[in-house]
Chains A and B, each alone.
Chain A
Amino acid sequence: MADDGFVTVSDFREGDRLSKDHLNETKDSWKSVDSEVGELNIREEGLDRRMFDTDNTWNDFFGSTSRCQQGATIDSNWMPLSDGIWEPIPFWVPSPYDTVTGGIHDHYARIQFDWNPQIHTYVIFRASFRFRWDVGLMGGSGYDPGDIDDDDNFVSNRDKVFVQFGIQVSRPGGSLSDDLHIHSFNFTNGRIFAPTQLGLSYNYSSDCTGAYSAIGHKFDRRTAMTSSITMVAAGQSWQNSDEPLTNSNHAIDFRNAGPVKAQLVWRQYGSNSDRQCTIDGSDAWGRVYPEYGNMQFFAQTFMR
């Protein structure tokens, strides 16, 4: 009988008496492998790309809605207005007008792809862009006037300046308006994955006196935070009902079929009104914008 797709021929040799059993056993063995043909039947290295219906064992091609990019430098005041509220990151410039290429939205890094757990197994989201924010002109000049005797204090607007970024991923068939907070043990419904954070060190910025790119000495970057923001997150379909994510540790749950949307989001500590320059007579009054851009964001789906 067949064993894992193998056919077993009755052992008879020349000179043996041929019986019906010999023929029936051989026939039954062939018949039983109908649904058992598998990898053991294929010669090692015996198949190549030509055998497969398409080359899409994984899927990511330029121009699809699962990928978007943007190359301009954004210096508009798009920072989130409210304290700690997640918002999509605008990646467009009003003048000269420039928008996001690809994806499903002109102004935001927002992508979409179809997900079918019958054929899709894994998906990896990757995002990268540059970000620079010099907070030296936030608030007023000089030290915090409320505590001028303390050499280590500085204007509160420049204190604890940080930004968080993340990848928000909808449920298959779901909306991006759902559950806009970080997924964690405390917030299992949260749909923001791969959070990351960029922020100044108080100890490096405490002597800043309200000057753009104030450099204390050559080793000190003080008021400017500059970094590439690169995030990666992944999800998968279920493997079985008992241990659906056996091979993974908190992969994004993609057990259901449907279109999946994803976008890049951010939030800041404090409100945007706190991030203004209030130095009397300054040309930079009200203008403390981050610069960012050169964005790439895509979802790579693996089928088999």
Chain B
Amino acid sequence: MTWRKRQEHVMDGDIVEPSEWRINQNEFTSEFNGYLDNDNLHNHSIHRRLVKRDTFTKVYVDQKQSLYGYLFSHKQSGWTNQCDFLVKQSGDRSSEWFGIASRHTELMDENWSDRTNKESFTGWNTVESTGNPDQVLFYERGQPTSRYTAELPHRDFVTDSEAMVIVDFHGTVSWLHGRGTMASPDDFFFNWYYRNESPGVYPGEDYPIYTTSGNGFHKPENYYYEYRAARTLCSMWRITVDGMIVAETGLLGSEYQHHPIYLCGAIPVSSGSHRVQLEAQTVWYAPGLDKTIQSSAEFPALSKIDEKTPSDGYRANLTTDCVLRWPNLITQVRSR
């Protein structure tokens, strides 16, 4: 039942009674002051030019149109909304990734001349000057800080009424070529030895290189059927709205060095503040056992390499693997 203007009838020849005039005026005014509706407007009388921007749909666009990506070191388990590093691609075409803006990583070129302290990694020139990513080594020193962590794509917004939130997300998941846990650590240690342990001298047969099982699978020790128990690293992704999951992937393996992901979800929300958040986690998955363990529970490459690492405070870090690139997070807020 809609509100209607109530009339006090005044006829010619009547004596003017103030209430009639005042009631009519107040009724008309109160109708105008917030109670106009369908009965006051013609059908099809409101053209879109008359409607305020964002009245029905508001779209928040978060497109990381850049050459940097979010990298996970596998040192944190469970779902997280923070990556461990930011990385930058060497070019817009190359599959190689280098240029780690790391919270605890130092880079140097093959001549050790380009060592840069970690505070300078907000600039990228030093990294790019190395040219060849294979000439960049990674060393871990000290404890990580929160200085260089980065939050995964998200969007905070406020709605002044209830609404439907529809989220689209797309990105590319890449596994670092040549230096991740999934890669053979041979070259990594080879270069490390050449530059650090004995500069200029390549390791020979007397320095056998320990590797993971290769081919992307890690064979855990103390398993008789070790291939059946072989594990591979997988990534998982999900979208939350105010902490509620609206879309989630399963286990995405590292068989492909690069593969796209796409998530779409929708949820009604009440008026107030909201957050759309991308979250990720990495896990070890054993297809033969159909079991997973937390990514931080095991660092196979690291433990092997440690056998060849002198106790000088350096430690090879091979666990910087999974990178999210080119993420586009698009949030629609449908009010009507």
Contacts and interface: CB of A to CB of B under 8 A. Distances in A.
B62 to A, nearest CB: 4
A52 B217 CA distance: 60
A29 B19 CA distance: 20
Given A119-B48, A121-B53, A185-B65, A200 B170 contact: no
Contacts of B45: 51, 53
Contacts of B220: none
B70 to A, nearest CB: 14
Contact of A122 (B57, B66, B217, B328): B57
A40 B34 contact: yes
B98 interface: no
Contact of A197 (B95, B178, B183, B216): B95
B33 A185 contact: no
Interface in A37-56: 38-43, 46-48, 50-54, 56
A41 B49 CA distance: 18
A193 B214 CA distance: 35
B65 A46 contact: no
B147 interface: no
Nearest to B68: A185
Nearest to A3: B33
Contacts of B232: 219
A56 B56 CA distance: 11
Given A187-B92, A230-B262, A236-B61, A52 B46 contact: yes
**A122, A164, A186, A217 pick with most chain B CB within 10 angstroms:** A122
Contact of A235 (B38, B44, B61, B230): B61
Interface stretch (B251-259, B276-284, B302-310): B251-259
Contacts of B170: 194, 196, 230-232
B65 A184 contact: yes
B54 interface: yes
Interface stretch (B22-30, B100-108, B192-200, B291-299): B22-30
A53 B262 contact: no
Contacts of A249: 61-64
B216 A203 contact: yes
B8 interface: no
B67 to A, nearest CB: 5
Interface in B58-115: 58-67, 92-93, 95
Contacts, number: 256
A50 B183 contact: no
Contact of B51 (A14, A185, A304): A304
Nearest to B217: A219
A7 B330 contact: no
Interface residues of B, number: 79
Interface in A243-257: 245, 247-252
A43 B63 contact: no
B22 to A, nearest CB: 7
B49 A118 contact: yes
Interface stretch (A97-105, A221-229, A277-285): A221-229
Interface in A151-205: 152, 160, 162, 164-165, 181-187, 193-204
A18 to B, nearest CB: 7
Contacts of A184: 65-67, 92
Given A42-B34, A121-B53, A201 B216 contact: yes
Nearest to B174: A197
B18 interface: yes
A12 B95 CA distance: 79
B177 interface: yes
B35 interface: yes
Contact of A228 (B19, B54, B262): B262
Contacts of B38: 46-48, 50-51
B268 interface: no
B172 A196 contact: yes
Contact of B44 (A50, A182, A251): A50
Given A186-B92, A207-B215, A230-B170, A250 B64 contact: yes
B317 interface: no
B9 interface: no
Contacts of A12: 22
A51 B44 CA distance: 5
A302 B177 contact: no
A290 B118 CA distance: 44
A200 B258 CA distance: 7
B43 interface: yes
A120 B314 CA distance: 57
Contact of A247 (B35, B60, B254): B60
A303 to B, nearest CB: 5
B175 A201 contact: yes
A221 B43 contact: no
Interface of A: 5-7, 9, 12-15, 18, 26, 33, 38-43, 46-48, 50-54, 56-58, 84, 118-119, 121-122, 124, 126, 128, 152, 160, 162, 164-165, 181-187, 193-204, 206-207, 216-221, 225, 227-236, 239, 245, 247-252, 267, 269, 302-304
Given A40-B33, A51-B41, A248-B61, 15 more contacts: A7-B33, A33-B32, A43-B2, A43-B34, A50-B38, A51-B42, A51-B44, A152-B214, A196-B170, A200-B255, A219-B232, A227-B260, A234-B59, A247-B157, A248-B60
- Give the top 7 A-B pairs by smallest Cβ distance, nearest first: A46-B37, A230-B262, A251-B61, A248-B61, A122-B59, A197-B258, A304-B51
30 contacts: A9-B29, A39-B55, A43-B34, A51-B46, A52-B44, A52-B46, A53-B47, A54-B48, A58-B57, A121-B53, A162-B95, A185-B67, A195-B92, A196-B172, A197-B258, A198-B256, A199-B256, A201-B216, A220-B255, A225-B259, A227-B256, A230-B260, A231-B170, A245-B61, A247-B59, A247-B60, A248-B63, A251-B61, A302-B59, A304-B57
